[in-house]
Amino acid sequence: MPPISATQAPTYDLGGCTVTLVSGGRLKLDGGAMFGLIPKALWSRSYAADEQNRILLACNCLLVEWSGASDRRVIIETGHGPKYDAKEQRIFAIDPARWLLPSLQALGVDPATITDVVVTHLHFDHAGGLTYEQDGRAVATFPRARVHVQRRELDDARAGFGIMTATYRQENYAAIDAAGAWRPLEGAVEIVPGVRALPTPGHTRGHHSIAVEGRERALVYGGDLMPTRHHLGAPYNMAYDLFPLDNRASKRQVLEWLAGRDGLIAIDHEVDTPVMSVRRKDDWFELLPAAPG
């Protein structure tokens, strides 16, 4: 497949800052695991599975830029990255040539101009793009960037805490360690002006979502809080979530916050409509497609 062009990268103007959707690649994961307790008879009505029961998922990343004299350039999430052997490529249907760095280069973005990278958590399909292989070793994709993540998530990644310990891969972190580029966060804090961490535990203990606020509108990148638009419903958790009830509470909190602000949610693994408006509907919420601009 050809590189992603600028015309395929939707941009949303929040007022004083823009958010551009950039592909971090695609992969396939087991549909049953992605929908947890929800029976296949229900989720398969809206999400087709292949012969191996896998469903197609995007790895949507965001480029945040400010107008005026600001030299800040922020990447939110890094996708799966390119570091997979032939067996893993088959299992996850990953094309290692299609990841965040080539997508940014197709947009004319020099990775050395990125000042900050924020990841919601450190599973391989979210943090794999932090590094790539060069001359037989993993190097930082964004050599001048600070990398922001919750301290608890970083500690859990190093300890392999969770039910999917293989998803925490040291080849994604070692170059960041060597560069001293980690910026561990403690709870709800401002990362850079206009970008804030919103703790949303549930998928992992240290999972956080990222709020980007312009003069006119707010957007939240939810990571695995709600991986696709089909996970909007309160009971729609993944089998991968460590604490499903906590995730449900976190999801309500973020949707409530956005609904009160006419805000947008960027949905990490959503293939068709990755940026949507949030509206209250009875005791829950609904999502409406949001046009770029």
Q: What is the CATH number of the domain that holds 195?
A: 3.60.15.10
Within a domain: 231 = yes
Reported as a pLDDT band with limits 50, 70 and 90, residue 277 is very high
Domain count, the chain: 1
Query: Is pLDDT larger for residue 276 or for residue 71?
Result: 276
Q: Is 246 exposed, middle or buried (0-12, 13-18, 19+ CB in 10 A)?
A: middle
Task: Supply the pLDDT for residue 45.
Answer: 95
Within a domain: 77 = yes
CA distance 120 to 142: 17
Within a domain: 1 = no
- Would you call 280 helix, strand, or coil by DSSP? strand
State pLDDT tens for residues 204-251.
Answer: 999 999 999 999 999 999 999 999 999 999 999 999 999 999 999 999
Reported as a pLDDT band with limits 50, 70 and 90, residue 88 is very high
State pLDDT tens for residues 242-267.
Answer: 999 999 999 999 999 999 999 999 99
Provide the residue range defining the domain that includes 254. 6-289
Is residue 5 over pLDDT 90?
no
- Would you call 80 helix, strand, or coil by DSSP? coil
Within a domain: 41 = yes
CA distance 171 to 166: 12
